[in-house]
């Protein structure tokens, strides 16, 4: 009997790649996202796709119930849904900050709550949270996004200890720059929230840095993240963290070793600010 995985944010990019790779590896995969029309191609790859909004509790409850009704178990939850909202703390509306946390943190947490009881009864299961090197480093005009990823890191570490006695693993995958829609969304937001303010010049430099980075050889394809997810799910004793993509491990190591003042200088140079 194949194992069952639920993958969020699967309408494109990383989530789509994870869903396809797991299906190819013999998993029974349920892929969910708000934009269900964009998942039409997944059916041909052996993936069951349906709509789920991780900011809507009823949507999450009914989605998990569907998987359990049809399969009787969930062996892996891959929390991939998320986005990058950039802009000055001074000007980004608090409603947008809350939405960033609703999608990147609270949606992830609520969906995990919903699958824990079945995994606990199974005495097995893995929760994979797609974090980011953004949960280790920081950038100007990125406070809200980085806050969500730092939160996911700490939340996952605590949950790993909490669920270990029940045979449930909690894994963080920490991508570096990955080909996706992320950079366009982040760049558009940073310019919109900074327009006409004292932060506008910084925002233009940051947006240019995003576009330059994501057009360079520093960027990996989404399959780099999918491969780490599969490795973590097939490991008898998965690691707590899996850096993914070019440069991710180097950046995380540099942050661990460099003092804050040195890291500040490095980040200013990298971001052009």
| Residue spans per domain, the chain | 4-271
The pLDDT score that the predictor gives to residue 31 is 97
Q: 215 falls in which pLDDT band (50, 70, 90)?
A: confident
pLDDT score of 116:
98
- The confidence band for 258, taking pLDDT boundaries of 50, 70 and 90, is very high
Catalytic residues: 11, 131, 145, 149
Structure confidence at residue 272 (pLDDT): 83
Mean residue pLDDT across the chain: 95
The superfamily CATH assigns to domain 4-271 is NAD(P)-binding Rossmann-like Domain (3.40.50.720)
Query: What's the pLDDT at 211?
Result: 86
User: Is residue 216 scored above 90 in pLDDT?
Assistant: no
pLDDT for 116-143, tens place per residue? Answer: 999 999 999 999 999 999 999 999 999 9
- Residue 167 pLDDT > 90: yes
Q: Concatenated DSSP letters for 165-188?
A: GGTEEEEEEEE-SBSSSHHHHHHH
Q: Distance between CA 87 and CA 203 in Å, rounded?
A: 8
- Asked if 252 and 136 count as a contact pair (C-beta separation under 8 A), the reply is yes
Mean pLDDT of 250-272: 93
pTM value > 0.75: yes
* Cβ pair 59, 107 in contact under 8 A: no
């Amino acid at each position: 009997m194949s194992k069952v995985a639920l993958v969020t944010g699967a309408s494109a990019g990383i989530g789509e790649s994870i869903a396809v790779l797991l299906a190819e590896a013999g998993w029974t995969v349920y892929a969910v996202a708000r934009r269900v029309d964009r998942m039409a191609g997944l059916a041909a790859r052996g993936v069951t796709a349906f709509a789920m909004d991780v900011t809507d509790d009823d949507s999450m409850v009914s989605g998990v119930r569907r998987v359990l009704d049809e399969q009787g178990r969930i062996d892996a939850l891959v929390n991939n849904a998320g986005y990058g909202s950039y802009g000055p703390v001074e000007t980004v509306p608090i409603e947008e900050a809350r939405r960033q946390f609703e999608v990147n943190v609270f949606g992830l947490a609520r969906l995990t709550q919903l699958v824990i009881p079945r995994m606990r009864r199974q005495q097995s299961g893995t929760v994979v949270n797609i974090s980011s090197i953004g949960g280790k480093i920081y950038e100007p005009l990125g406070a809200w996004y980085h806050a969500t990823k730092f939160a996911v890191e700490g939340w996952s570490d605590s949950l790993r200890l909490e669920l270990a006695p029940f045979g449930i693993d909690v894994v963080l995958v920490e991508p570096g720059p990955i080909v996706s829609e992320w950079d366009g969304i982040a760049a558009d937001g940073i310019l919109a929230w900074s327009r006409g303010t004292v932060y506008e010049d910084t925002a233009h430099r940051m947006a240019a840095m995003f576009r330059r980075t994501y057009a360079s050889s520093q960027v990996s394809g989404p399959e780099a993240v999918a491969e780490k997810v599969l490795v973590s799910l097939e490991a008898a004793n998965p690691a707590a963290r899996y850096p993914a993509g070019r440069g991710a491990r180097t950046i995380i190591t540099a942050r661990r070793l460099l003092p804050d003042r040195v890291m500040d200088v490095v980040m200013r140079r990298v971001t052009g600010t």
